[in-house]
Structure 1
Amino acid sequence: MSKLFKKMPIEKRKISRIEIRLTAIDAATISASAEARNLTMSDFMRRAALGRRADVYFETEIVVSLREVAQSIQAIHAAFVKHGI
């Protein structure tokens, strides 16, 4: 039986870790920029540091906005259910 997944070569694994200090405002700005691009903060910071593109897609912004709307609707629904409405 063959293995489902193959191990990634050591040179391609992300094993090094860098710690940086940020102000709360910088951290929030970076987090918002990463979220707008649908990236983790690590991926966003890595791309920025290495000069790689991290495009913002309007579709991503729309999806994020729709997710927020859906969460609001779910909260309203939960409140209605809780009060028996």
Structure 2
Amino acid sequence: MTTYGGRRGQAERDAITVEIGYALCSAVFAAVVVFGAVAGPVLLFELPGGLERALPVAGAVLAGLLFVARVVSVLVRFQRPGQPSQPGRTNPDS
């Protein structure tokens, strides 16, 4: 982000805000899809009592884990510095 502990500029703060928003929105979407895939059969089929109670719990646990994993992976990937320029190639930041 910044070098030598300097203050962040407006563009960097905006980029961080957008990346956090993307991480949260994509994590919510992925968690909802996983929860629906795991707990959805309870709404569609007659299942035994134990399975009918276990699927929504399992779906919620998996959705929560996926949510956290997605947010962390997006934000960690955002922190990594870009690939350095190679000699003889055009620098995309120039």
Report the TM-score, using the length of structure 1 for normalisation: 0.36
Q: Give the structure with the higher percent helix.
A: 2
Which of structures 1 and 2 has the larger relative contact order (alpha carbons within 8 angstroms, sep 6+)?
A: 2
TM-score by length of 2: 0.34
